[in-house]
Amino acid sequence: MEKNFDLVVIGAGPAGYVAAIRAAQLGMKVACVEKDKTLGGTCLNVGCIPSKALLESSEIYARTAKELGDHGIQVNGLSLDLQRFMGRKDQVVKRLTGGVAMLFKKNKIEPVLGAAQIHQDKTVVVGDAKLSAKNIILATGSVSANLPGFDVDNERIVDSTGALSLQQIPKKMIVIGGGYIGLEMGSVYSRLGSEVLVLEALDRIVPMMDLELGQAFQKILERQGIQFRLSASVKKGEVHGDSVEVTFETEGKEGKITVDVVLVAVGRKPYTGGLGLKEAGIETDAKGFIAIDEKFQTTLSGVYAVGDCVRGPMLAHKASEEGIAVVESLAGQAGHVNYQAIPAIVYTWPEVASVGMTEEEAKAKGIDYKAFKFPFLANGRALAMGYRDGFVKLIADKKTDRLLGAHILGPRASDMIAEMVLAIEFSASAEDIARTCHAHPTLSEAVKEAALGLGSGTIHI
Question: Whose Cβ is closer to ligand NAD: residue 307's or residue 453's?
Answer: 307
Three-state SS at 133: strand
Among 162, 177, 390, 453, contact with ligand NAD (rule: CB under 6 A) = 177
The answer to the question of residue 226 lying near ligand NAD (CB under 6 A) is no
Question: Whose Cβ is closer to ligand NAD: residue 20's or residue 209's?
Answer: 209
The answer to the question of residue 201 lying near ligand NAD (CB under 6 A) is yes
Among 34, 200, 210, 351, contact with ligand NAD (rule: CB under 6 A) = 200
Residues 64, 70, 73, 76: what is their CA dihedral angle, to the nearest 10 degrees? 50
User: Minimum Å distance from CB 190 to ligand NAD?
Assistant: 16
Three-state SS at 322: helix
The answer to the question of residue 197 lying near ligand NAD (CB under 6 A) is no
| 173 within 8 A of 187, measured Cβ to Cβ | no
Question: What is the crossing angle of helices 48-66 and 180-191, to 10°?
Answer: 40
Question: Whose Cβ is closer to ligand NAD: residue 104's or residue 180's?
Answer: 180
Residue-by-residue DSSP string for 216-235: HHHHHHHHTT-EEE-S-EEE
Say which DSSP state 443 is in. T
Interface positions, 131-160, toward ligand NAD (CB under 6 A) = 147
Question: Please, which residues have CB within 8 angstroms of residue 6's CB and are 6 or more apart in sequence?
Answer: 23, 28, 29, 30, 133, 134, 135
Among 126, 199, 277, 353, contact with ligand NAD (rule: CB under 6 A) = 199
The answer to the question of residue 179 lying near ligand NAD (CB under 6 A) is yes
Question: Whose Cβ is closer to ligand NAD: residue 184's or residue 445's?
Answer: 184
Among 127, 274, 302, 313, contact with ligand NAD (rule: CB under 6 A) = 313
Residues 76 and 301: their CA atoms lie apart, in Å, by: 65
| 29 within 8 A of 7, measured Cβ to Cβ | yes
The answer to the question of residue 180 lying near ligand NAD (CB under 6 A) is yes
User: Minimum Å distance from CB 232 to ligand NAD?
Assistant: 6
Residue nearest to ligand NAD as judged by C-beta position: 179
Phi, psi of 444 (to 5 degrees): -65, -15
The answer to the question of residue 14 lying near ligand NAD (CB under 6 A) is no
Interface mask toward ligand NAD for 250-269; x: CB under 6 A: ---------------xxxx-
Rounded to 5 degrees, what angle do the CA atoms 5, 8, 12 make?
140
User: Minimum Å distance from CB 234 to ligand NAD?
Assistant: 4
The answer to the question of residue 207 lying near ligand NAD (CB under 6 A) is yes
The answer to the question of residue 314 lying near ligand NAD (CB under 6 A) is yes
The residues with which 110 forms a beta bridge, in sequence order, are 31
Question: Whose Cβ is closer to ligand NAD: residue 110's or residue 212's?
Answer: 212
Residues marked as catalytic: 440
Phi, psi of 432 (to 5 degrees): -55, -45
Residues 30 and 397: their CA atoms lie apart, in Å, by: 45
The answer to the question of residue 390 lying near ligand NAD (CB under 6 A) is no
Residues 448 and 5: their CA atoms lie apart, in Å, by: 50
Interacting stretch for ligand NAD, rule CB under 6 A, among 187-195, 196-204, 354-362, 402-410? Answer: 196-204
Question: Please, which residues have CB within 8 angstroms of residue 333's CB and are 6 or more apart in sequence?
Answer: none
The answer to the question of residue 349 lying near ligand NAD (CB under 6 A) is no
Count of residues engaged in binding ligand NAD, rule: CB under 6 A: 26
Residues 414 and 376: their CA atoms lie apart, in Å, by: 15
The answer to the question of residue 373 lying near ligand NAD (CB under 6 A) is no
Question: Whose Cβ is closer to ligand NAD: residue 302's or residue 313's?
Answer: 313
Question: Please, which residues have CB within 8 angstroms of residue 162's CB and are 6 or more apart in sequence?
Answer: 152, 154, 155, 263
Binding footprint of ligand NAD on the chain (CB under 6 A) = 147, 176-182, 184, 199-202, 207, 232, 234, 265-268, 313-315, 345-347
